Structure 1
Amino acid sequence: MTVARKLMLVDLFLGQNALFYSALLLTVALCVLEVILLLIGFSSSDSAGLYGLDGDGDVTGSGGGILGYLNVGRLPFTLFFATACAVFGLTGLAIQQASFAVTGQVLPMAVVAPLALLGSVPGTRWISRLLGRLMPKTETTALSQHDLVGLTAIVTLGVAKRGSPAQARVRDQFGQNHYVMVEPARVEEVLSEGQAVLLTQRAGHHYYATAATPLLTQ
């Protein structure tokens, strides 16, 4: 084997693919972390609360936009992020392997990373949807989602704008947490992450909300 070909193999397995191997290592680390948390009776989904529940306790997506397309909310965020990293890493390695097999060269990271990111979107969507169906559904107290109207919630993920909902956590009268999608009741309003909001109206799979007054948050 020539020195040049050896150097190209080093690029294939190390240099130009460091980002993709790092993504795969991160996937393994996240999975190990989740297993450890489960063994001690805890789960990242308990604290992150990235399940969206509809009125029947079914897991739903995160609304419109790219997050909804990727099924964010169908499974714990740690598992979703691990899935995205795994698909991104494998897609990048597959592209580099194909390039090396055809041309004997690996692509520069500035070229292959965007291609891998774009190519990983369909795979992430498909796998996250499959995993979401396999995940056990969270059991909740029998409660109509319309009963949450009038309660105060906390925006936990994203920034809510009209037409672009964000996730919020609301506790019902039984002490049960629900994770719902909210968007501003007023067109000009923006609801930021960590902000307390008042659920004013149920609309399909999400709620309209407005900023809660300090009196309501006490």
Structure 2
Amino acid sequence: MFAIFLTPAYAPFAIAFVVMIGIGLIEAIGLGLGHLDLDGDLAMDGESGGVLDWLGLGGELPVLIWLTSLLGCFTLVGIAVQQVATTLLGMPLHWSLAVGGAVVGGGLLNILAANGLARLMPGFETTVISSTDLLRRRGTILEGTAQRGQPARAKVIDHHGQAHFVMVEPHHDTDSIAQGEIALLVRREGALFYALPDTDALLHAI
């Protein structure tokens, strides 16, 4: 039975299944990669994601869980297509035809599955934060030097222990925050955060 999954007609679905298991293991051991940022900004509470909401990626479901679901649906539909083709035609379809059908059918099935998972797993909502929740948190400058008009990339850890990568400029025009230095996020405009260098002893109490 399992030998058929090694044939070319079933190979794409066998590969998808292996990748699905790998992603599931990543989530299971808690590497925290499920909350990848899809649009370059943080998930915003109450905002509609349009197409992403329709696909089940409106922020309530971690992206790797969504991808695992998609791969599972793709695998199931692909195997079903090949089994039906074998029953009706006496042989499976060419893998490219089966993949095309599985992409369409699996994608539609995953919309239902992902939205269902989002409703059944409310615990994931606890790690979806508003970007304003990062204010008064400290971040480390990763690349370059943050200067007024020249933002630098910083890593900020939220209260769930999740890492967020944001662009930072100094709050004061005359300040600069070099790579490796710590900064306290004090305000935000759009996707850009403004920070104070964490060198002032008065800031340590915050």
Q: Which runs of 4+ in 1 moved over 6 A?
A: none
1:24 and 1:17 map into 2 onto residues whose CA distance is 11
Counterpart residue type for residue 134 of structure 1: L
Deviation, 1:86, is 0.7
Counterpart residue type for residue 132 of structure 2: L
Counterpart for residue 22 of structure 1: 15
Counterpart for residue 150 of structure 2: none
Gaps of 5+ in 1: 1-8, 38-42, 153-169, 180-193, 201-208
Question: Quick one: structure 1 residues 211 and 139, their matched pair in 2 at CA, closer, same or farther if it must change by over 3 Å?
Answer: closer
Counterpart residue type for residue 128 of structure 1: A
Is residue 71 from structure 1 mapped to residue 56 from structure 2 by the alignment? yes
1:93 and 1:53 map into 2 onto residues whose CA distance is 38
Counterpart residue type for residue 12 of structure 2: L
Gaps of 5+ in 2: 38-42, 137-154, 169-186, 198-206
Counterpart for residue 32 of structure 1: 25
1:139 and 1:34 map into 2 onto residues whose CA distance is 16
- Name the SS for the 2:10 alignment partner: helix
Counterpart for residue 106 of structure 1: 92
Counterpart for residue 132 of structure 2: 148
1:33 and 1:210 map into 2 onto residues whose CA distance is 29
1:137 and 1:12 map into 2 onto residues whose CA distance is 34
Between the two proteins, the alignment pairs up a number of residues equal to: 154
Counterpart for residue 54 of structure 1: 45
Which among 158, 167, 179 is matched to residue 196 of structure 1?
A: 167
Q: Deviations over 1:131-182 (max 9, x none)?
A: 1112214448xx9x6x939x69xxxxxxxxxxxxxxxxx979xx547x9xxx
1:32 and 1:211 map into 2 onto residues whose CA distance is 34
1:216 and 1:101 map into 2 onto residues whose CA distance is 65
Deviation, 1:126, is 0.9
Identity of aligned residues (%): 21
Q: Which has the larger radius of gyration?
A: 2
- The answer to which of 91-100 and 127-136 deviates more is 127-136
CA RMSD of aligned residues (A): 4.3
Question: Quick one: structure 1 residues 68 and 90, their matched pair in 2 at CA, closer, same or farther if it must change by over 3 Å?
Answer: same
Q: Deviations over 1:16-55 (max 9, x none)?
A: 11110111122223223332x1xxxxx24x3443484626
Counterpart residue type for residue 22 of structure 1: I
Give TM-score scaled by structure 1 length. 0.53
